[in-house]
Amino acid sequence: MNGQIVKRVVIAGGGTAGWMAAAALCRQLGPLLDITLVESDDIGTVGVGESTIPTARTFNALLGIDEQQFMRETQSTFKLGISFENWGQIGDRYIHSFGQVGKSTWMGGFHHFWLQARAQGFGGDLGDYCFELKAAEAEKFFTDDKASINYAYHLDATLYGQFLRRMSEGKGVRRIEGKIASVRQRAGDGFIEALVMDSGAVVEGDLFIDCTGFRGLLIEQTLKTGWEDWSHWLPTNSALAVQTTSTGPAVPYTRAIAHKAGWRWKIPLQHRVGNGLVYSSDHMSDDEARQILTDAVEGQMLTEPRVIRYGAGRRRKTWSKNCVALGLASGFLEPLESTSIHMIMIGVTRLMQLFPFGGFNEALADRYNRLAEDELEKIRDFIILHYKATERADSPFWDYCRMMDIPDSLAQRVALFQENAQVYQAPGELFQVDSWLQVMLGQRMVPASHHHMGRMMPPAQLRQALEDLKGNIAGAVARMPSHQDFLDRYCPAETPKAGGARIGAAG
């Protein structure tokens, strides 16, 4: 199809993924494209995320979205990180924040100074030197045009999809209501020609974007790209989700609380709380999981818990022929680090960068697939780290995780840290040094040695430098309003209409 004019873009499936794709394409390439989205109100969405990472702010800026309006209409709250509880051992708690830890130098990271101080009997907790982490602990928040604070959002994924739909239709995206009955392929090369609807209508296109969720109607059922299974590294395969009323002020962090066969989440929005329980069905029954979740939630349940089945892994090709898969259609990693919405954002951003204006060719698709595969594998390794780096021995599930073999790419990172306290961010990698550091130390990985650049400073000077940094952060946090007070002033949301929410997952 080299040299073909690619103008007609057909998005199969709505939800968060479909409308994010539509909104981005019409905002950035609208005059060059004819965009149609096909979805059915009769097909529910899993709701790919309610918890995001800071890249969501960049994506919203790309779409020209006003933050306060967006937060009001999606019932959003601010997020400074994730509180991990019971992961290293039962009773442990650490926060993986979005902030920078201390001040690093060209020779090495700040944590080497901190480790040197600890070896000399002072230095306190590493988290004392991260502004966002201390603000999260204090449940404080503030931002304006001059503030340098790194944050993300907790949002209602269904309301976000509706928000983007209004924006997209206002810019000319055409929506077709109905179910897809079949997919018509071109004889000879198997490229997709059209979607045939239950009504008999035919929706023709040049480029098709698969946002049909786990079933992958185009990328897998039609084009049969294949699946790479990662469940031996990420053994959870089931989730229950339920929405509850709020029982107190919203905190500026997600909670990820480990239990004997997985973990549960708690995500505070302005109008409710998103709750869920992730588990391995090989180690816990659905009934036991439901009981643990319903016993743990606070407030009145607004929805009935429903089991969601999944498997960790990815499509062997995210771009095949003239079809690109986004969201759950492209692969799945459990929402432990709130990466689901990010993967949609980066997927559609990469598509815009590599858009096939000159027609479809293998070189373009191969480049897209290589970048998508590389990023997802690095995120996969980061999530596996949470399970592998544990001292829990209280259940068969945690015994399996603690003893399991891990990818060589992760094993090399772990060895580098355990032996030398060295941490790095690979080119194109989502999670930065500070993220790896906070999780490794938070889950009781103690390095055998570290860089001795801290010995170049007299102990009294090192102590004073650390105390000054800690004091500056504590002072800044003390001056901030509470997260709830800032929300009430900055973006108070109206109560949504009853029945508007669908089941959601953690991100």
Residues with catalytic function: 79
Q: What sections of 327-451 are H helices per DSSP?
A: 340-353, 362-388, 396-403, 408-420, 433-442
Question: Between helices 15-29 and 157-170, what is the axis angle to 10°?
Answer: 30
Burial of residue 155 (number of CB atoms within 10 Å: 0-12, 13-18, 19+): buried
Q: Strand pairing of 306-309 and 273-279?
A: unpaired
3-class secondary structure, 281: coil
CA distance 364 to 382: 28
In sign, the C-alpha dihedral spanning 211, 216, 218, 220 is: positive
At 192, which amino acid appears? I
Q: Dihedral (C-alpha) 28, 30, 32, 38: value to the nearest 10 degrees?
A: 120
Query: From CA 477, how far away is CA 142, in angstroms rounded?
Result: 9
Bridge partners of residue 12, in order along the sequence: 38, 210
The CA distance from 109 to 448, in Å, is 16
Query: Reduced to 3 states, what is the DSSP secondary structure of residue 97?
Result: strand
Whole-number CA gyration radius for the chain: 23
